Homo-oligomer: A and B are copies of this chain.
């Protein structure tokens, strides 16, 4: 039996293109003592994947020749460990591959929710990142204004819906009028501003008549720079990512930094979702509650087929997704 994989052929220096990847047919891997053989069902497609190619971050850098890394939802095919058995559903640091092996203690057994895609979207990285960043780092209070960039993206959409549920005024930033309408009409944000519009700054000010108390930054760069101008004193900037910078050979920082941080006494704080693992149970309880009341709507953007993973990631970096993007490698097990 063969195993389709996608490797990083060459590390990108600037914009990521399909040529940086290559499909390879590898041998079926064999699980060792204490390991499991996994069949990949779904792969999360995240802007952070691109940053892994820039160097070591919170994980080792991806090198040329490596099979591309991802977070996967997978089914256990065979198990050489008493911890897991065939048919179990797990989440793990996976690969762009149909089959992988992993030490059993390095994968997390997950509940068999239906559809499994929810384990990647609202109950997975996206929902938990939104909850922990907003609640744990941003600490918004009812009546405050929360601004969110990449508002039509997976994390941004949940941030805004959670902030609304907490009683905040919520303003999104997204690219293009179609996405902005979707953010207000479908996700229920109070307003959404198009960063591609030449009148962006004026529109942003108008959408935030009381200024901004919490800015949830998914993008960095110029949008972060612009957002700093509308922050209120003692505002909080939640640094979740810098999607605008990953695809750039010469990143640019916000030029008003640290000037406005001093003058407005802002707090900017970075986090990654694993930092808040101790609060995951609270997060999941809250997310389930809001999904139940309809205050959170779940949107998923599922690309079919492992072979389409490079295009799915490249498209994500260009902002063409609405909701959490993932790639389906195999159907949900019955």
What is A's interface to B at a CB cutoff of 8 Å? Answer: 51, 57-58, 217, 220, 224-225, 237, 239-242, 245, 250-272, 275
> Is A242's CB under 8 angstroms from B269's CB?
no
Nearest B residue to A265 via CB reads B270
The 5 residue pairs across chains A and B that have the minimum distance between CB atoms: A253-B253, A261-B270, A262-B270, A239-B258, A268-B268
Q: Flag if A257 contacts B253 (CB, 8 Å).
A: yes
Determine how close the nearest CB of chain B comes to the CB of A58; give it in whole angstroms.
Answer: 6
Contacts A225-B253, A253-B256, A254-B253 given; does A268 touch B263 at CB 8 Å: no
B220/A263 in contact, CB under 8 A = no
Given A225-B253, A256-B253, A268-B268, answer yes or no on A262-B275 (Cβ-Cβ < 8 Å): no
**In whole angstroms, how far apart are the Cα atoms of A217 and B262 in the complex?**
10
Kindly list chain B residues whose C-beta atoms are within 8 Å of the C-beta of A242.
258-259, 262
Q: How far is the CB of A203 from chain B (nearest CB, A)?
A: 22
Of residues A251, A255, A263, which shows the largest number of chain B Cβ atoms within 10 Å of its Cβ?
A: A263
Contact of A268 among B217, B256, B259, B261 (CB under 8 A): B261
Q: Which residues of B contact A262 (CB under 8 A)?
A: 239-242, 270-272
Q: Is the CB of A265 within 8 A of B275?
A: yes
Given contacts A240-B262, A251-B259, A253-B255, contact A269 B267 (CB under 8 A): yes
A264 touches B270 (CB 8 A): yes
What's the minimum C-beta distance from A328 to chain B, rounded to whole angstroms? 28
Decide if B251 touches A252 in the complex (CB within 8 Å). no
Contact A253 B252 (CB under 8 A): yes
Whether the Cβ atoms of A251 and B245 lie closer than 8 Å is: no
Which of chain B's residues have a CB closer than 8 A to the CB of A269? 261, 265-268
A329 CB to closest chain B CB, in angstroms?
28
Measured CB to CB, the nearest residue on chain B to A271 is: B265
Q: Is the CB of B245 within 8 A of A259?
A: yes
* A239 and B261 alpha carbons, distance in the complex (Å): 7
Q: Which of A224, A267, A269 has the most CB of B within 10 A?
A: A269
B-chain residues with CB within 8 Å of residue A266 when the two chains form the complex: 268-270
Taking the nearest CB of chain B, how far is it from the CB of A44, in angstroms?
17
Cα A268 to Cα B217 with chains together (Å): 14
Whether the Cβ atoms of A256 and B261 lie closer than 8 Å is: no
The one of B220, B257, B259, B260 in contact with A259, judged by C-beta atoms closer than 8 angstroms, is: B220
- Sample of 17 A–B contacts (CB below 8 Å): A239-B258, A239-B262, A240-B262, A251-B255, A251-B256, A251-B259, A252-B253, A252-B255, A253-B253, A253-B256, A257-B257, A261-B270, A263-B270, A265-B270, A265-B272, A267-B270, A268-B269
Chain B residues positioned under 8 Å from A253 (CB to CB): 225, 252-257
Residue in chain B with minimal CB distance to A219: B258
Taking the nearest CB of chain B, how far is it from the CB of A272, in angstroms? 7
Q: Say whether A224 contacts B255, CB under 8 Å.
A: no
With contacts A240-B262, A262-B242, A265-B275 taken as known, whether A220 is within 8 angstroms of B257 at the C-beta atoms is yes
